[in-house]
Structure 1
Amino acid sequence: MARAQQIVIVGNGEIEPGLAPVIDAADLVIRFNECRSFGAGGTRTDVVAVCNTGRPPLMMLSSPEWRASQPVNDCREIWSVRDPEKFRELRPALMATHPELADFCDDYTDALAAFANDAGKTHAVIDRSVHEAVDAALVPFDPGDYVVPSSGMVVVASILAQAEEAGDAVALTGFSHEGWDGHPFAAERRLVDSYIAAGRLSRLPQTNFISPPEGA
């Protein structure tokens, strides 16, 4: 039987001092987009989860610095967090309600897959069912009107679905639950807190499920 993994999902928000060795001691570390947590939040990077529609992927793919960055170079996998078909279906309604987001659903999944392949990395797309499950899970937490869940929330939901079956332990850090008003951050915070209360998830440094190696 495979040993349960210790997984840390590292957002791009503030990281408390001293957590770098704790994060790097995990079995699996997931970062996001430009990996702004890299350094203060450790250096281990197994997965870079990226927004694959709209302006962020265009900026990343157009940036030699991003392509050559250490976390992107080090990672084994690149995950596209948005299902292309889901976002093609969202476009007409979104154009009616948010015409300023004309390029929001522009899809760069194939370009990210090609980049990953050229770099010898695995590319995966998180299934639309995860996005839709997050939408449903947010309802009791009064999300109000929003465009889509955040990439971080989609990744958390995807990891939890797999981790519970495998018996893996999952922790978060660098999640401020603040940012673009098209994401329902207040409701996402309450949803994450409910997962923590249920024992499905924890936050660093409030959990000690990982200990840094002796001498670190």
Structure 2
Amino acid sequence: MPNRIAIVGNAPTEEDRSSLIDGADYVVRFNNAFGYGDVTGTRIDELYLINCGGQPLEWLRSEAFWSRDYLARTSYITLPLAAPNRQPSLAIMDNGIGQSVNCLNFEWDMRAALRPLGKIVRTLASETFSAATNALCAQGANGAQINPSTGYLAAFACLERCARDTSVDLYGFTFAGWGGHSWDAEKAWVLDQQTKGRLNWHPT
């Protein structure tokens, strides 16, 4: 088990944290990996890629995305939302059936796109996703409207599986962005875990 884990968010920052991040035993990044190769370093061991909604659709239709350096370097790729079945969703969009992209899960499309890279691809267990959602409810989020952010899910899953004495550092988290996430509840959860000694949040 790693002694120190760095989870790197996508909030823009000019401060160079590369030596701190690259010095960790295990580095988790997600989605477009802001600052990779620059102010947030180059180490990557696990990459979370959101697999629902418009962002994965954009990636699937972009040849350039799949040749990015951090995709080549990571050992593990985690898709946070397990699909209810193995049906690819890209065909649904291309056939013009009219289903909203926000309702589609692209897990199996992304697995197919990632297969040539030879990576270990996994999804979060449904129990982990449910526990993460319940934790946000406990922090005041509306249970009927919770859409956990990729970064929050990465942090929650990390604490769930690592030893209690593991040092977990969060960089590049501002708890702002897309209006569908419960940012106040996610920030409250992080501060609560910091108070308990489970992680260290380094504000941007």
TM range (shorter): 0.7 to 0.9
1:10-49 equivalence runs, <5 A? 10-15=8-13, 17-38=15-36, 39-49=38-48
The answer for the alignment partner of 2:194 in structure 1 is 196
Q: Which of the residues 127, 135, 138 maps onto 1:137? A: 135
Superimposed CA distance per residue, residues 96-147 of structure 1 (whole angstroms, 9 cap, x where no aligned partner):
xxxxx92213121112222332111110101121121112112232213634
Q: Which blocks of at least 5 consecutive residues in structure 1 are unaligned?
A: 89-100, 207-216
TM-score with structure 2 length normalisation? 0.85
Cα offset for 1:64? Answer: 2.1
Cα distance in 2, alignment partners of residues 32 and 115 from structure 1: 17
User: For the structure 1 residues 57 and 169, does the alpha-carbon distance in structure 2 shift closer, same or farther, using more than 3 Å as the test?
Assistant: same
Q: Any stretches of 5+ residues in structure 2 without a counterpart?
A: 88-98
Say if 1:83 and 1:126, in contact at 8 Å, map to a contact too. yes
Q: Which amino acid aligns with 1:160?
A: L
Structure-1-length-normalised TM-score: 0.80
**How far did 1:82 drift?**
1.0
1:150 aligns with 2:130: no
| 8 Å CA contact retained: 2:81, 2:105 | no
Q: CA RMSD in A?
A: 2.2
> Is 2:178 aligned against 1:174?
no
Partner Cα separation in structure 2 for residue 180 and residue 61 of structure 1: 21
Aligned residues: 190
SS at match of 2:77: strand
C-alpha displacement of 1:205: 7.5
Identity %: 27
Deviations, residues 169-193 of structure 1 (Å, cap 9, x unaligned): 2110001111111110011101110
Partner of 1:106: 104
1:159 aligned residue: 158
Q: What letter is aligned with 1:112?
A: M
Show structure 1 runs of 4+ deviating over 4 A: none
